[in-house]
Structure 1
Amino acid sequence: MECSTSNDSPITCSLGSYSLEGQRVCLKCPPGYACKYRHQSPASCPPGQTTFGKEGMTECSPCPAGFACESPQILPKKCPIGTYSLEGSTLCSLCPPGSACPHTSSIPVPCIVGSYSTSGQQNCTMCRPGYACSNTTKAEDVQCLPGSYSVGGQSHCTVCPAGYYCPDTKLDIKIACLPGHYAYTGFATCRACPAGWQCPQKDGSQNTQCPKGTFSTGLQKACTLCPAGKACPTTNTNNTIPCQPGSYSVGQQAECTVCPPGYECPSITESIVKPCSMGFYSSGGAVTCTQCQPGYACPSRFEALQIACLPGTFANAGFTVSLKRR
């Protein structure tokens, strides 16, 4: 109540004001206080509440989100960018690493995979092309190695698949290897199939050395078979050597096969091995067997053993033994 003079009747204090016993005038409730009851002293607003700097308030209000109410007696302070507060806060909180705070009145938003933020960030930073960012809380971008790539916003670099090469670490470009070339996983360029090897698959899974009797000069999906009638002593060159008469090759041979003793081999491209007839011989490497000369006996067809006839004996051409004259 307010009493202006000793003879006047008391006047009821207006809302937001108060008077204690014995006071002659009503007092306005100061900022930061609430005067719910006119006959009681002002009640200080609890932490996190405010009267927005106004006097004469009957109730305290929660500090609004996006503001900090450090003291009930002063105006709420707006949170700066990179911080946030929820309703009833006494201070603004710094946005934590790994999160973004696009609005000062909302809780932090976690960074998506392939992006990151340090503390106090309004937005997450997307990982740049050609780099990987595995940690959302640190600005640690790792450059992609040749044979891998990232188009941006990736936590890990993408490894180039086998059979392809990836020339640019910043772009999703996968180019298939040409025939006679191959690439394992994570190759920036395709490799040429080397001489002496065959590379039937572009992923290099079936690369094998050429076996004897075949060859490759490089860039080949399959080894070349050595032709019949020739020998191929090396697997990494196309050096073919013709078989000499008395030897042969049916193909896929590193060496020509020499006709064995006691046989004749009329063809250099086929395995035609004929035994020498009686009275003929071959010591090996013969196109045809040699007939035993007259006056000699040739008991073996496996060597050039010609025995001269003794006096009183004779032998015609092709004889294996000498005969007595009658």
Structure 2
Amino acid sequence: MRPQPGAGSPSYCEPCRAGTYCPDPGHTGQPNIQGKPCRASYQCPEGSVTETLCVAGSYCGPQTGTPTPCPGGYLCPEGSHTYSTPKQMCPFPYYCPANISAMLPCDGGFMPVNVSGRRDSRERSCLRCEAGTYRPGVATELRCMTCPPGYHCPAGTETYLRNPCSAGYYCPPGSPLPVPCPPGTYGKSSHAKHLGDCYPCPAGTFNHLFSQMACFPCGSSSFSLAGSASCTCLGLNRAFQQSDGSCVCMAGFIFFNELDQKSSTSDSDLDCQPEVNERCGSGEVRLAWSRECVPPTGHICNLTCGQEGGTLNVELGM
């Protein structure tokens, strides 16, 4: 355009100012002495030939060169001339961040909540589902729903199908985490729903741990009833060893095997009897490992301590 006469070349023409537009004179038959004002709902950057609908996510008042971003909590579809009409307020159950043209639903694992003021962010408008509940991303139900049996739902769960109850556990309705099968039982299948899905260990087996998928066998020197967390030794004064299923003498007891050899740590179904130690003489010390009585000053520790030797501790017998 050029508001003054006397131009000698096109370089004397100025770009149409922002907020106005200058139509092609070849179409209008009129020279552009000054730009035409851009109407509301349209945008006209500097040098515009025509009006352009205001970009979505913004609004354009009269003579707009650069659109104004739509504030949070409102909707501005393409061609908006303002943001504050009743129809442009972001409604429940959606939220509308700034510079947006479409309503956003709460993500999966969140539910919409009523708030005072504008619904301008997910943090204000959506609440994370509590542990033991879930809500799909695309759902007609607005509230978080109870996690069904056989599944567990940590906080913020979108779909329970990703969290099946593993074997060795059970999941009642509303489970935030799987519940382990207790000692004396085992869980053999996934998707267990209640404690009854944890089966008692059969007779002759035991389970001393939580969340097991099978039970451990008792050894030949022990037995158990159904649902046992340990086995009972056949021999008296014996202690069952959960690590390997053996039965060894309790502390202070020994037994003699078929060869009349003394032992306290061997597995057997024979009874153990109290160990009787000889009375140590005056000034003697009982060795912890052999129960022998020795004089502390004359005892050589090389066998235990190596060539460097050592000193016998009279209190510990070592």
TM-score range for the pair, normalised by the shorter chain length? 0.3 to 0.5
Which structure has more helix as a fraction of its residues?
2
Report the TM-score when normalising by structure 1. Answer: 0.40
Which structure has more strand as a fraction of its residues?
1
Report the TM-score when normalising by structure 2. Answer: 0.41
